[in-house]
């Protein structure tokens, strides 16, 4: 009955366009870090303090490692991108704008100009 009321749906994960440097290695490291974090939280709720301390230490070590990997991937990606576009000012500025998070919002064709104007005139 539950399958009829709430059918299962497939979710497809796509890389975030704002982080083009975030690859499978980063995703795996992040997944491991989150799993170790959950294990550390679960171990902290148990009475054995030594197990909790060890789980927390393993999680913190992995967290630092993930942070270093993420920064290395990001820095390498942007350094390579800027170096590759160094000969073309247009591509270089496009890369810098992307790096800084600036850019144009794509126009939506879901609403016409007349509807847009009508909305603000009647408001």
Residue that wins the pLDDT comparison between 106 and 27 = 27
Q: Which residue has the higher pLDDT, 5 or 18?
A: 5
What is the distance, to the nearest Å, from the Cα of residue 82 to the centroid of all Cα atoms in its chain? Answer: 21
Ordered alpha helix ranges (H), 1-112: 2-5, 24-44, 49-84, 89-100
The count of other CB atoms within 10 Å of the CB of residue 53 is 13
Q: Is the pTM of this model over 0.75?
A: no
Determine the average pLDDT of the residues in 19-37.
92
**Euclidean distance between CA atoms 41 and 45, whole angstroms:** 7
**What residues contact residue 46 under an 8 Å CB cut-off, 6+ apart?**
52
Residue 105 DSSP code: P
CA distances from 83 to 13, 58, 76, 78, 94 (A): 30, 37, 10, 8, 13
Please give the structure tokens belonging to residue 39. 């294990």
Top-confidence range, 23-27, 30-34, 74-78, 97-101: 30-34
Of 11-15, 32-36, 56-60, 109-113, least confident by mean pLDDT is: 11-15
């Amino acid at each position: 009955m539950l399958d009829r009321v709430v059918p299962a749906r497939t979710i497809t994960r796509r890389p975030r366009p704002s982080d083009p440097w975030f690859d499978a290695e980063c995703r795996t490291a992040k997944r491991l870090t989150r799993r170790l974090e959950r294990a550390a939280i679960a171990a902290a709720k148990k009475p054995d303090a030594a197990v909790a301390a060890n789980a927390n230490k393993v999680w913190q070590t992995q967290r630092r490692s993930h942070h270093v990997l993420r920064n290395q991937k990001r820095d390498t990606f942007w350094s390579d991108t800027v170096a590759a576009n160094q000969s073309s000012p247009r591509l270089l500025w496009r890369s810098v704008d992307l790096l800084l998070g600036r850019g144009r919002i794509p126009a939506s064709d879901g609403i016409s100009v007349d509807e847009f104007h009508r909305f603000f005139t009647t408001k």
